[in-house]
Amino acid sequence: MADGIGHRPRGLGRMFKATVWSCQGLRAAWLHESSFRLEVYLLAVLAPLAIWLGANGVERALLIGSCLLVLAVELLNSAIEAVIERYGPEFHELAGRAKDMGSAAVFVTMINVLVVWSLVLLPRWL
């Protein structure tokens, strides 16, 4: 939304509102999306492991960042699915394609996790 339209708060007030809305989105994902909860549980296991296994800050950032990217894409996928479901349960080819593409995006970020973790950690063990 453009900042110049209407009487929306600006500056710190706007940042506070945006933070509240973001927290509401995270809460909704936690309450309604089992995939999101599972990915948060995996992050809770993998983040400490990344801190322990990463040799430096860059490696730790890559290991944790790849996992956080999965959460971000899962949130976007859930948003796409929610909008499609808002318009009704009947099948539409484009709706099915959008949902499949959102799911594929999550899958690609999970492959990214495997690639990043492998490229960072495997050279030490080989």
The answer to the question of whether 28 is labelled as a binding residue is: yes
The answer to the question of whether 100 is labelled as a binding residue is: yes
The answer to the question of whether 29 is labelled as a binding residue is: yes
74: annotated active-site residue: yes
The answer to the question of whether 103 is labelled as a binding residue is: yes
The tokens for 22 are 């973001």
The answer to the question of whether 74 is labelled as a binding residue is: yes
- HSE value, Cβ hemisphere, 13 Å, CA-based, for 92: 11
Q: Which of 59, 74, 85, 93 is catalytic?
A: 74
The tokens for 40 are 């948060």
The answer to the question of whether 59 is labelled as a binding residue is: no
Query: What is the spatial distance between Cα 82 and Cα 70, in angstroms, rounded to a whole number?
Result: 18
Please state, in angstroms and as integers, the Cα–Cα distance from residue 104 to each residue in 32, 53, 73, following that order: 20, 29, 10
Binding-site annotation: residue ranges for substrate: 14, 27-30, 60, 74, 103
Q: Residues within the annotated binding site?
A: 14, 27-30, 33, 60, 74, 81, 90-92, 99-100, 103
Which residues line the annotated binding site for a divalent metal cation? 33, 81
Give me the active site residues, please: 74
